[in-house]
Structure formats: C-alpha cells, structure tokens
A and B are shown apart, each in its own frame.
Chain A
Amino acid sequence: MKKTFITVDANEAVARVAHKINEVIAIYPITPASPMGELSDVYSSKGEKNIFGQVPEVYEMQSEGGASGAVHGSLQAGAITTTFTASQGLLLMIPNMYKIAGELTSTVFHVASRSIANQALSIFGDHQDVMGVRQTGFALLASGCGQEAHDFALIAQAATLEARVPFLHFFDGFRTSHEVSKIEMLGEDILRSMIHTDLVNAHRKRALTPDNPFIRGTSQNPDVYFQTRESVNKYYLAVPEILQKQMDRFAALTGRAYHLFDYVGAKDATKVIMLMGSGAEAADETAEYLANKGEKVGMIKVRLALPFAVDAFIEALPKTVKAIAVLDRTKESGSLGEPLYHDVVTALFENSDILPFEMPKVMGGRFGLSSKEFTPGMIKGIYDEMGKPSPKKHFTIGINDDVTHTSLEYDENFYLQNDDMYEAMFYGLGSDGTVGANKNTIKIIGADTDKYAQGYFVYDSKKSGAMTVSHVRIASKKIKSTYAIQKANFLAVHQAVFLEKFDILPHLRKGGTFLLNTPYPKDELWHRLPKIVQEYIKENDITFYAIDAYEIAKQTGMGRRINTIMQTCFFAISKILPIDEAIDSIKKSIQKTYGKKSDLIVKMNYDAVDSTLKNLYKVDTSLMGIDSDISLSPILKGDMSPFVDEITRKLSAFMGDSIPVSKFPADGTWPSGTTQFEKRNIGLEVPVWDPDVCIQCNECVEVCPHSVIRANVFDASLLKGAPEGFLHAEAKGKEFGENAVYNISVSVEDCTGCTLCVEVCPAKNKSQTNLKAINMHDQLPLRESGAKIWDFFTSLPTVDRDIVKHNSSKEAQFLEPLFEFSGACPGCGETPYIKLASQLFGDRMIVANATGCTSIYGGNLPTTPWKKNKEGKGPAWSNSLFEDNSEFGLGFRLAIDNHKNRAEILLSELKDKLDAQLVDEILKAVQKTEQDINAQRSRVTKLEDALKAMNTDEAKELLQISEYLVKKSVWIMGGDGWAYDIGYGGLDHVLASGKNVNILVLDTQVYSNTGGQQSKATPTGAVAKFAAGGKSGVAKDLAAMAVAYENVYVAKVAMGANNTATTKAFIEAEAYDGVSIIIAYSQCIAHGYDLRYGMQQQKNAVNSGVWPIFRFNPSLIDSGTNPMHLDYKGPKIDVKDYMYNETRFKMVEKMNKNSAKEFLQTARHTAQTQYKRYKTLEEEYGSKL
C-alpha cells in the first residue's frame, strides 16, 4: 500500500486520528492542547466524517471541569467520546476521571502535558499534570514524537475499548505538541482495522437507556465500597497484555512496532537511562551515538507508565545492566523520588529474587521541567555520573542547583556530530511571517523530497514585538533531536536590529552560512555590523549573504510581510533542493494558500520570489577588516536594584538557563515595576506632541495602552535645565496657578507605535488638517533626544493628587500610572482601563488577576509592568488560577477586613495611652475620596510615630497592622473567558457576597490569550474558533445579571464612547461599599482590524446599541436619586456600520451572505431590546423615587 506522509505537529497528528475514531468531543481551550480541539472543530465544520460514518459533535464547554462532565455523560450514554487538555485543565478533570475509571469506561484523553502552576504559572511542557492524575485509575501512555502521538492515539483507543480501563495518552507540550515533523499518516483502513466493531458495540451496549434501565453511580456504604473498589483489579492487571497485543496488531498493519518498554543502545550496556516523552527521543539518539562509539550504554523508552508492567520492564533491560538512571519530568516536593523512579525501584525490589542480573544501582533524576532543554550533553552527563563510584542517588540535570546540590555537571558544548543533518536557525519578529515561512519550508521538504524535516519554534514572552526563533532540521533519516539547535549550518536574522541587542552568531557553526535582512546598501552593510558580528564572521569562516527584504516587500506590494522573500533566500542559499525545483515548490505552495482567495495576492508573492532571486547577494568579506565600533546595546537601562541588574538582565538577554537556583526567590515573589528598564524600541513610529495645536484634553494620555504618553502640569521655573526639544504650553485651568505650564511627554523607547493616541486626538492643525496635536514620526531620529526628554519628564514633580479632580477624565490623567510598558499587543483595549485604575487607586490597590492576557502581560517574566510610586506604594498583584479569581480576590478582602478589625480593636484598647482625639478621628474616618484617604494616611502616620515610642505588645502588634486602618482597594480583574465562563460560578457568588470588592471585566468578547476561541461574551455574527461560521447566539448579558442583585454597583463602559462616564464608573465603583463590577469594552487583535481605530470602534459599538453603556449605583437610592443612569441614547447608527469594520464579522459576509443577513438582523434586534431593557429599568427606578 502506498504510504502517505504529512508534515504536521503532534496536536494535528492526534486530532486527525481522534476526530476519526470518536463520536463526541467535548473540550475547553488550554495551552498547549487547544489546537487539538480547534482542529477537530474545523474538521467537523467541514463535514468530515468519522469511521462510523458520522460527523463528530465537537462542543466547547465553559471549563475543563465542564468538559470532563460532558465527556462522562456522553460516555455513559454510549458515545465514543474524547477530550483534549493539559495542566490545570487536567487537574480540573480529576473528579470525573475517577468516575470514568471507576465505572470501567472506555475512553482516551489526549494530553499535551504541561507544567502545573506552583510558585508561578508556566505554559511549557513537563509531566507534572499527568503525574498529578496517576491515582484516578487512568492508564498512562506516553508518546515521544509526532509519529508516536499519531499512532498511539489509535492504539490507545483500541486498547481502552478492549480493556475497559480509560487511557490518558500524553505527549510533551510544545516540544512534541508544537514540533512540526514528517509523519506517515494512518489511512482509514487501518483505523477501521484497529477499532473493533464488536468492542464499539459492547461500549454502546453498556449505555444508560430507558429501554434497558439500570442504575450506575450509586452511593455505597462500608459493607460494599471496599470490595467494589477491589473488583476492578483484574481489569488493570490485563491492561499491559491487551496494550501489547494492540501494539502488535498495529505493527502488523503498519510495520511500526512498539512495546511497553522499548530498549535502544548497546546489547551489553551496563548503564541504562529510563524515561518517557520527548526526552526519550534525545536519549535514544544519544545512546545510539555513544553505543556506536563503543560505550556500554542504553536507554529504555517507557510507553505504558501505568499500570506499570513489571515483567515487560525486566525483560526490556539488558542482562548486563549495572546502573539505571530513572528520569522523571516532574517534581514531587518532599517525596523520596518521582513516580517512575518509585515504580522502577519497587519493581526491582519486589522481584529481586528472580532478576536475571544482579540488583543494579538505581538513581532518580529530574529533568526538563517547563520545557527546560534536555540535550545530548546532559544525557552524557548522566551516563558519566552513573559511571562514578558513588553517583548521586537523586539528581537534577540541566540546571545549576547550588543550594541543595542536586544538579549534575555536564559538558554544554557536547553535541552529536551528524553529517547527515542540516540545521538552520531563523530569528524573526512575531509579525513578519518567519515562523509561517519555516513551517511552509518544512512542508515543502516533507512533501516534495524523501527527506525528513523538523521544525520547532520558540517565542519570547511579549505579545508585541516578540522575537521568534525557528529551529529547522533536515535529514535523510527520522529526526530524533528533541532539543534546540546548538550549532547551526545556516543562521538567518530577519530583523537586523536583533544583532544590535543579542549575541546571536555563536549559534552558527564554523564554516556556516549567515543570512541577514538589512536595510543598508551593499557598500555600507559591513560597516554597520556590530563589532562582535564582524569578528565572528571573520574568525569562523562564515559565508555571508544579505538582502533588503523590506524593500522587495514594498516594491511587490507585500507591505511588511517578508515571509516568502526570506523563504526563497533560504532555498536559494541552502540548495536543499535544486533551485528551480525549490522555486516551483514555493510557487505551488503560494498558489495553494492564496489561489482560492486572490490572484493578485498570488501574483504579488510570485513577484516577491522572482525579485528575491535577483536581489539576494553574497557579501565578499575577504577584504573586509574589523572596523566596527558598534557594541551591543544594553538589555536594561536605568537605576535598578542589584537583583534586577543581575537576574532580570540575564533573563531579558535569554540567558536565564545559566542562573543558579540560589539566585531565585523560592516562593515566587518578584520585584514590581521592571518593564521600565527594558526600553524595547519596537515602535517604528512614535507620537510627537505639538503644543500649539493641543487643547490639553489628555485623551491621548488616557487611551495609551502602554502608558508611554504622560501629561504633567508644573511651575514654569522647573523648566530650567530642560533638555532640547522639551516642549510646553501655558497650562489651562486656574487651579494649577499662574505660572503653571503643561507638557505632554512620550517615552519613545517604550512606545509600540499603535497610533491610538493620534486617532483619538480631537485637535486639528488649523493650517494643515491632516495634522493633529499629536502626530507620528519615525522613531529612530527621536530615540536619543526622546530618552533625555523622558528622563527629565520623570524627574519632575507630579501634580498634587489632592487638587486633581479624580472624577474628571481629563484631570485623572495627571495622576501617575502605576502600570506601564506592559507586553500587551499594540493598540490593546484592556490596558487603558487597568492603567486608569492604577492611576486612581494604585497606591492602595491589591489585585487578584485571573489567568489570561491580563496575567501574561501583567506578570510574565522577565519584566513586569505593575510598579510603585516615589513613596514606595503601589499595586500588590497576584495571579492564582483562571477559574478561582473572584474567590481569590474575596479572600484578600476577608483578610484585609480581619486585619482592619483587629487594628481597630487594638486602637480602641490603646486609646488611653494615645492621643484620644487622633484615635477617634481614625476610627470614625470616612474614606470615600482621595482627600479622605490622604487625611487618614496622615493620621495613621502620626499614630505609627506614637506607637514606635511605645514598648508594649499591643503597640507592636498594632504597628504591624496599622496600615490596614487606611482603606485598601481590592480589585478582581480578568477577561471574559474568566468572568463569563470558567469563573462565572465564583463571580456570581462574590456578586452575592456584599463584600467591598471591585471587579473589572476586560471584555474582548473572545478568549484572547489562547487564540480567539468563542466565549459566552462573543457577540452574534462574530467568527471565532468554535464559531467558524459566525456565532449565531446572543452574548450573555452579564451586566443585567449583576443588576438583578440590586445591591451590586454595575457599570458597563467603553472608554472610546464616553470617557467621562468611564472615569466616573471607576470612582463610583471603588467608593461603593459593597460589590462593584465594571464591564469594559476592550478591542483586541482577535477582532481583526487596525487597532489604531479601537476607540472609534468603541464609539460605533455604543452608538449602534451593540454595547450599551450605563451605571447602576445602588448607593444613590438612599439619597433619592435614580440609581440607573444610561450613558448612551440608544441605537443611533446601523449595527452594520459597527460590525463590518471588523474582520471577525466581515468574513461571514464573504463566506455566507444569508448567515450574515440573519446575524445582522439578530444583532439589530438585540441592540434594540437591550436598550429597551435598560431604559425600562431606568424609568422604573425613576418612578419609584
């Protein structure tokens, strides 16, 4: 039979099988497993049928807990059912997993295994999640690469149907789930051969049905429960044999033979490493390499981790074994060792009398947590350790543990010489298409040659201006190198600016080829290179090619997309394929991608390919000398703490792997406000202020997502010493004094160039109306002067908070933001609200942040944006989980109230020993406004001074908690995925609590962080993942649900539509002594339009009635004022004029005009009914007064 090869990542490899052999798929998105569910949804939406002849039902639930419940139900009702998940998601499934296993239900859960949130969240891969469900009764089956994941997805299904024990099939998150490789695809004939109809029928026959009624899931008592738990033992005992049988059947069908334990290496090995997952591939490659060199080493790939098959394990070991290193990609604090180690030790100990060899030494090691690299050097390091007379019984590898000294030393420069393999690295910018181009290259090589190709893609932690590194390998044999390229044959830098910041070239091997995309002309290029680049090229015989890809992109209409151009360069230089064949393949691929969409786009790409070949050139370095005085620009700048200087600097330079354990905080506590040192310089254009045109409205300051535009008013005398270019105007507003001047400054080095500020500026230049009071200019010429201006600006005193009208949207922007320069996307709609909250309440704010975009740009290392003011006060921030954020924040409130109550009790008790009047003032203080709070602060400072002079236990205790006598502002923040879906139960409970917390829902109407899956906030007609044809239902009206409690402050806001109402909402919500919730319209890149128009779109959303804005303030009832206040006047423009500005809506019109019409009608209707609903509420409350 003809073999079919496809080039895919493991997520796709698994989804292709799982979708074919299941009837129901219930999922919830979570990194890195999300693509499996998304692809399944795509297959079903295209009408692809499973082997049973039906299109599987793919259903997105509100949480993984919900998904596992739906899976359980579907299984009990007899459908072959699966789910895909990872990490916290898998943990949320545990209760149902116990149920599913306890009821002996056949199913396979596919898991892209990922770290668990401990001291920090991590999206990357290890086995902590899988090892966290060992106790549930699921069999654990591990894959190490895309091919195995594809194959095991089927084998696991065949085995579970026979064994009745549910299987958890897992593979490493990112390293396997996202690694693109060439695999042999299983045909439907093989799928059908492996899935026995009899077993499927038997599964269906066990279904709950009223036609054959029975009860399952009883409540059992002491007389029964124990025995019934033991009744399942025989099923577990049978699993290894059944699985091996299915593996053998699979081998007969495909030629790919697997075993419960697969041994690789010298037949007479004395040292054996055991592990599972992608690390086993690297160990396989290394063991074979070393064995071929005569070393007596071997390794065992563990396929079935649970139930642990003792006989098969002992059988797999070479009889010569003397030492075994058992490697676990997990961590169990306090345990004697990790799970696989325990199982191996137990297996050997219990069978010591029948072992065909002497009891070997067994060592337990941890490796690769959170996708930490696991390289041949590390593997060799373990073998070396095993050969020592007294090797470490427990160790770690890949880090430097200088605290408890668990780590092994290894040779970082050891790598496997493999002349068959071609290794290439590409440094690109997130948005330039580099990763996409490399994926395409791998697909071309996979499809058009008999070679194997592998691609792995590394992204940095920022959502804007992120650097991507593509690792591409090509070889004639299957590639097992599951680690980053150490020394590449070819290295391309697609953004010349990277060379100025990072030392990249040492990743290129001696005699390798370097390709640079550069704007500099041929004769100038060499002299524009940093010195270390010139030196590396000369000292390592590097062949150097260059191209001005952006110029070609511009000329051929490609804009700033250089993917096709750089891909063509790679093929032209590397000669992996004959150039004509390569060009032909690239063009075919272009035709395939764009042919159905637009001939023009095809032509543009073709032109780009042809132009590339004409413009790519080799730089003759033979006559060039080392003449550069350009050194690497500093990674961090500014006055920073020693910790930031040492640790954060290394993290930002991508050198975090080298930092030893002792340097890190053990409990996840990190300093605030480190983004200020980063100076990323990613904005190609930045805003420049024109004081002559400016009307001093501060709207540009308000909307800036990255807090790079600031306004200040100060005495003109302070202008002395201002750097050149520091502009000012006479300040408007008498409250600032007669000599006050107004200034707007821009941190040009932190700006992302989103242009929201320019679009929102209402002031036009009267002589040239295409100019405003703030205009975009090239960043580079402004960089140096801009930095000086910013330094001067930040040295100025800020406006006295007591004279600022906080509820004025203009004046609030004079307050210092304590959230700045985050890694959020350019034009982000969420961050202006967060910034506003930090300006108004930051110095007394404590934030519970749900997992999602907000927690990533808010708390993803290396640098974080929450900062403190000059007095050392600022927001205290923490992220617990995705699902529990409301409860987490409520916990803050409970603790703070407890401290405050205790402080008040102590204060009352100490009244006689203190200034009684001061005590009374403190206890009776009303803390509604900033002025109230500042007054209380002064009183508490006086109190603290007095307490310090006292030497009683009570005084000491009060001193410790006296800060709680000043009002603390508890904020619970997150996106709509949290508030509307996974966290809604908790949110609802907190809404009902009456406690003084402030909830801020940053509503992007979609799961933004995980890549655009629909949430219950997704509006009618929007295309999102799991709503590929556009969402037909109506978004949940969370605001109306909150209003229904009647004692909750509720505001629905859109800054772009009504900034005054928005600012007031924040002030009122915070002042309200009870639960407050603000639901804020937030534009997002998942909406598909140029976010520079984000505020205009907010206005359109409100004016069309799609996003009603109002404030419901229950505290007004007592004063006889209507608590319900609509901040808009109902739908004024057609919904179409809002929706069709965004790709998410517009694309429906392009796909299905009838659906688009229906969606429009529904959206228009909803806009009207919502207006009526809120208007009626306003009238009803008004009539009651």
Chain B
Amino acid sequence: MVDLTTKYLGMTLKNPLIASASLLTGSLDNVKKLEDSGIAAVVLQSIFEEQINKEIHQIDHFLFRNRDSFSEATEFFPQDEDFDHIRPDAYLEEVARIKQSVDIPVIGSLNGVSDGGWIDYATKLQDAGVDALELNVTYVPTDATLNPREVEEMYIKTIKDLKAHVKIPLSLKMNSCFTNPAFTAKQFEDAGVNALTIFDNPTLVDIDLEELTTLTKVNLTSSSSLSQTLRWCAILYNQLDIDLCANTGIHSGEDVLKALMSGAKATSFASVLFQKGISEVSIMLEFIEQWMIEKEYKSITQMIGSISLEHTDNPAAFERSSYMHALTTYRY
C-alpha cells in the first residue's frame, strides 16, 4: 500500500489531487461527486465581487431608473423590499452548506475583488467555514505608463492586508507574466502567503472575423500546457519555503506525478473534469497508485521536488539554454 498523502497549506491531504475553482465546484452536488470520486480537496467556485456588484448595480439601476418619472407609473417593479436577497449571501450560504456536508478540505476562492472588498469577502468566507483561501487577483495592466513595481506592490499590499485579517492559510494563484517570476514569488512569500498556485490560467482572447469583434473564450488546457508549470515549480521549489500547487496542464495521473517531481506539493485542475467528467479523478488516482507500486515508491513525499531545478540531472531543461539544448541534440 502506497502513501498518497501530502501536506499542503498546513493541511494533510489524502492525495495530491485538488479540484480547482470552476463551475464544477460551485454546488454541493458536484462537490459531493468530486469527494466520492476521490478528490482530496476542492477550491470553490470563485466569488466574483465584480460580477456580484455588477449584477447588484444592474438590478438596482433598472429598478431605480424609471422611478418617479411619470405620473401613471411611479415604479415598474414590485416594491424593492421584496428583493432583499439580491446579495452575496446565497453564495456564502452555499459555501457553508458545502463545508458542513463534505469531509475533504474546502478552500475558498477570491477573484476580481476591489481594494476594500478583499478583506470583507475573505472574512465572510472564513466565517462560512472554509479551511483556506486562494487569492486570484486577475489583473491585466493595460496602462503603458503604469510602473511594474506598482503592480507588484498592489499584490503585496493585498496579501498583507488579508493576512492581517484572516487566520486561515492563504495561497495566491500566481500570474506568470512577471519580469522575474521567481523574484516576485519570493516577495509574495515574504508578504506572508502560505502557498503559490502555479499558474493562473486566464481566459482566452480571440477575434471573430465575421462580426469583426473580440471574443472571450474559456481556456481549457491540455497536457501540453504542463511545460510552463513544471518549469516554474522546479525553479521555485528550492528557493521558497512555502508550498507550491501545480495548476495548469494537469490532465492525467502522469501529469500529477510530473508536477510533484518538479516540486509541487499538490496539483489542481478543472479542464480535464470538464472534458472527461468527474469520474476521471479515480482513474488518475488509480494510475498514480499503480505507477508508484510498479516503480516502488512508498509515498508521495518521496517524489516531491525530486526533479526540481536543483535536483534534476538535467537542469538546462528548465532554463533558457534548454532551447539551445533541444536544437543541438535533435537527431536528423
């Protein structure tokens, strides 16, 4: 019998498989199915403050807009006292229900939150019972005059503010677009974050040639997206004292094993669950277990970081020279 447990964010997970934040982790039904299929933890569907505020604004706007403007109709909807429930409570209630109904750790996700909103929502999620928080800043700087340092400072301030107000562990879903991601990751560690999720997987942008407009698409990954994840887990593994969670490109048991060896303590994924269904978790677990037996690994802990930048026999593969290496070693 092999030991699949791993320690992540101060918790002992029964295996390194975490369902990352997506529509699939938004309801109790799905979370229960994930638990049944063997998942070790779930990151709940994000609470999008932007979206909540937008909806509230929208509803409030349209309830308000035509009020008291014409003598025959001083309003067009039943009086607003009826709509007391237009607020994030429903989300928080669902979070509490999920937490009470499953045994696996439940990680709350904060996404697209405003300056003042982070602490408010983090506190509410903590009160709702989540075991840890994952922070997803989702910030795309579009201003050419904005100093990159200011962007980093914004991240750091947010982490510090949150750490000052919540007690539960905090992970940051990191964006890969920093000049020196390792340096920035170190700063995040210094700011107090307990783990980094490598990396955020933003939505895709496309152009519609028929309508001559831009499109936003869900970014479903594949195993081929794993490269970046492996590289940065491997680079960061020995340079940080905090946990790493491999997030992009995990589609199979093999991908999980690779990620762990590169330095991740856990892996999180969603695309494969959309593509193959929740039951894929048990298939992945079975593969991992079988592989470990075949290769005579006793525990997950054994392999974590075993092929990191420091521990690999071929560090060049993780560095820029790997490109040169690939060229020079290619056999015609």
Contacts and interface: CB of A to CB of B under 8 A. Distances in A.
Interface of A: 31-32, 35, 38-39, 41-42, 45-46, 123, 174, 178, 429-431, 433-436, 439, 457, 459, 463, 466, 468, 559, 561, 593-594, 596-601, 603, 764, 769, 825, 856, 1008-1012, 1023-1025, 1028, 1085-1086, 1088-1089, 1143-1144, 1146-1147, 1150-1153
Interface string B229-266: 00000000000000000000000000000000000000
B120 A599 contact: yes
A593 B79 CA distance: 11
A174 B72 CA distance: 10
A769 B211 CA distance: 9
A466 B69 contact: yes
A434 B67 CA distance: 10
Contacts, number: 143
B213 interface: yes
Contact of A1025 (B61, B63, B68, B77): B77
Contacts of B81: 42, 46
A1011 B90 contact: no
B83 interface: yes
17 contacts: A42-B78, A42-B79, A436-B67, A463-B69, A468-B69, A596-B87, A597-B86, A1009-B73, A1011-B74, A1028-B78, A1085-B65, A1086-B76, A1086-B77, A1143-B58, A1151-B82, A1151-B83, A1153-B90
Top 7 A-B pairs ranked by shortest CB distance?
A: A430-B69, A1011-B73, A435-B68, A1088-B62, A1012-B76, A1028-B78, A459-B71
A1010 B83 CA distance: 21
A599 B84 CA distance: 13
Q: DSSP majority for the A interface? A: mixed
B35 interface: no
A431 B56 CA distance: 19
A1150 B68 contact: no
A1023 B78 contact: yes
A31 B62 contact: no
A601 B78 contact: no
Interface string B99-117: 0000000000000001011
Nearest to A603: B116
Between B73, B81, B213, the greatest number of chain A beta carbons within 10 A of the residue's beta carbon is seen for B73
A412 B105 CA distance: 78
Contact of B70 (A45, A439, A466): A466
Contacts of A769: 212-213
Given A45-B78, A433-B68, A1012-B73, 5 more contacts: A41-B78, A431-B69, A435-B74, A597-B86, A598-B86
A39 B87 contact: no
Contacts of A856: 72
Contacts of B62: 1088-1089, 1143
A601 B72 contact: no
A1146 B64 CA distance: 16
A31 B58 contact: no
B28 to A, nearest CB: 12
Given A597-B87, A1023-B77, A1153-B90, A123 B72 contact: yes
Nearest to A1006: B76
A283 to B, nearest CB: 25
Contacts of B79: 38-39, 42
Contacts of B33: none
B87 A1012 contact: no
Given A598-B53, A1088-B63, A1151-B85, A1025 B78 contact: yes
A174 to B, nearest CB: 7
A1023 B84 CA distance: 15
B298 interface: no
B75 interface: yes
A567 to B, nearest CB: 13
Interface of B: 52-53, 55-87, 90, 114, 116-117, 120, 212-213
B88 to A, nearest CB: 9
B130 to A, nearest CB: 20
B72 A1009 contact: yes
B79 to A, nearest CB: 5
B65 A1150 contact: no
A32 B327 CA distance: 83
Contact of A468 (B56, B68, B75, B90): B68
Contacts of B57: 598, 601
Contacts of A431: 65-66, 69
A601 B57 CA distance: 8
B63 A1150 contact: no
Contacts of A433: 64, 67-68
Given A123-B71, A435-B68, A559 B61 contact: yes
Contacts of A559: 61
Given A561-B64, A1025-B78, A1089-B62, A1146 B55 contact: yes
Between A35, A1024, A1088, the greatest number of chain B beta carbons within 10 A of the residue's beta carbon is seen for A1088
Contacts of A1143: 58-59, 62-63, 77
B82 A601 contact: no
Given A561-B64, A597-B86, A1150-B83, A38 B78 contact: yes
A492 B67 CA distance: 20
Contacts of B75: 1011-1012
B77 A597 contact: no
Given A433-B64, A1023-B78, A1147 B59 contact: yes
A105 B49 CA distance: 57
Contacts of A1028: 78, 82
Contacts of A1085: 65-66, 76
A764 B72 CA distance: 41
A856 B73 CA distance: 12
Contacts of A1153: 90
Contacts of A45: 78, 82
B60 A597 contact: yes
A888 B185 CA distance: 78
A643 B312 CA distance: 96
Between B74, B79, B114, the greatest number of chain A beta carbons within 10 A of the residue's beta carbon is seen for B74
Contacts of B78: 38, 41-42, 45, 1023-1025, 1028
Nearest to B74: A1011
A46 B86 CA distance: 16
Nearest to B62: A1088
B82 A46 contact: yes
A457 B69 CA distance: 10
Contacts of B68: 430, 433-436, 439, 457, 468
Contacts of A457: 68
Contacts of A466: 69-70
A1028 to B, nearest CB: 4
A623 B72 CA distance: 46
B77 A1012 contact: yes
Nearest to B86: A1150
Nearest to B68: A435
Contacts of B114: 600
A600 B72 contact: no
B82 A597 contact: no
Nearest to B90: A1153
Contact of B85 (A35, A41, A599, A1150): A1150
A1153 B28 CA distance: 14
A97 B86 CA distance: 43
A84 to B, nearest CB: 15
A94 to B, nearest CB: 23
Contacts of A1088: 59, 62-63, 76-77
B72 A1150 contact: no
